[in-house]
Amino acid sequence: MKDILTLGIESSCDETSASIVKNGREVLSNVINSQIKIHEQFGGVVPEIASRNHIEAISNVVKEAIKQANITMNDIDVIACTYGPGLVGALLVGVSYAKALSYSLNKPLVGTNHIHGHIAANYISHPELEPPFLCLVISGGHTHLVHIKSYSEFEVLAKTRDDAVGEAFDKVARVIGLGYPGGPKVDKLAKKGKPTIELPKTHIDNLDFSFSGIKTAVINLHHKTPDINKADLCNSFEKTITEVLLDHTLRAAKELNITKIALAGGVSANSYIRNEFLKLGEKGYQVYYPEPVLCTDNAAMIGAAGYYEYLKGVRHGWDLNAVPNLKLGERI
């Protein structure tokens, strides 16, 4: 069988990325142009600024990905781009570039779901991983528990009712003065503290999540007690969040009788969350997660997901548009 080279393009938020992925598993290049330093001064991503920076960066990023993979444009077999969910202006940059490239090279175009990309990052880090398995997707914009039935078939078992887990991390970090991006900074400070503070957990009848309560509790504690030990606060916050994630994931795994559990998304790079999930190995579970560079937004994961969409027969035309609220499994 001929090797298939997929050019992945990712521009859903504040990273402009391009990657060449062979057969959905082997990364030949993965170039990421991050805007963190630009948005840091604003305490979060400014959509208009993100879009402008994508426009300035995307051409050079794609050229560098081709160069690092030691191939030519004509060697590309498939062009996969994120078309949702994400910031509409940012998505449009990647989608427009991918459509133009597809047209000029006469190569098939495959619009790819950003969440599917996060899940597929595990295929790169773990070549032995195959469906079915359970995946906990935790990022700044999403908190999903997903039953991966096949490479292209998903059942969303649970979502957050309010804040995504990464959003809660960012808001807590901003309020207590740690700045942006909040997740890594909370993780770092938490290592210096102890779980001495009891924080609330929201209990829902089904597997859905809710993090607005614990976020508000932490913020109120900080306002009422300005001299509170921030390291202890971060440690307690991180521990409580992790307990909720573990509880819901284990309940789903037992209901489905699944022993393979994968983590995905930016928050899956959190060291405490990783370590606690790894302990599930003592209970007979196999735990997978991507290497840190594949947890945050990148094009390698889009190349991997796009490859499996391509094998399924998914093709898009010149009318492909950005879909900021695209649902996992939805194909428009």
* pLDDT confidence tier of residue 149, bands split at 50, 70 and 90: very high
Q: Are 123 and 300 in contact (CB under 8 A)?
A: no
Q: Are 139 and 283 members of one domain?
A: yes
The closest of 314, 327, 330, 325 to 79, measured between CA atoms, is 314
Residue 322 lies in a domain: no
The pairing of strands 260-264 and 286-288 is parallel
What is the predicted pLDDT for the residue at 197? 94
Amino acid at position 92, single letter: L
- Three-state SS at 81: strand
Q: Are 273 and 169 members of one domain?
A: yes
117-137: average pLDDT = 97
What is the predicted pLDDT for the residue at 179? 86
What is the predicted pLDDT for the residue at 17? 98
Quote the pTM value. 0.95
**Which domain range does residue 70 map to?**
5-119+295-312
What is the predicted pLDDT for the residue at 332? 82
- Three-state SS at 168: helix
Q: What is the pLDDT of residues 175-220, one digit of tens each?
A: 999 988 889 999 999 999 999 999 999 888 899 999 999 999 999 9
Residue 314 confidence (pLDDT) above 90: yes
* pLDDT confidence tier of residue 44, bands split at 50, 70 and 90: confident
Residue 318 lies in a domain: no
Q: Are 111 and 137 members of one domain?
A: no
319 Cβ neighbours under 8 A, 6+ residues apart: none
Q: Are 276 and 142 members of one domain?
A: yes
% of residues, the chain, pLDDT over 70? 100
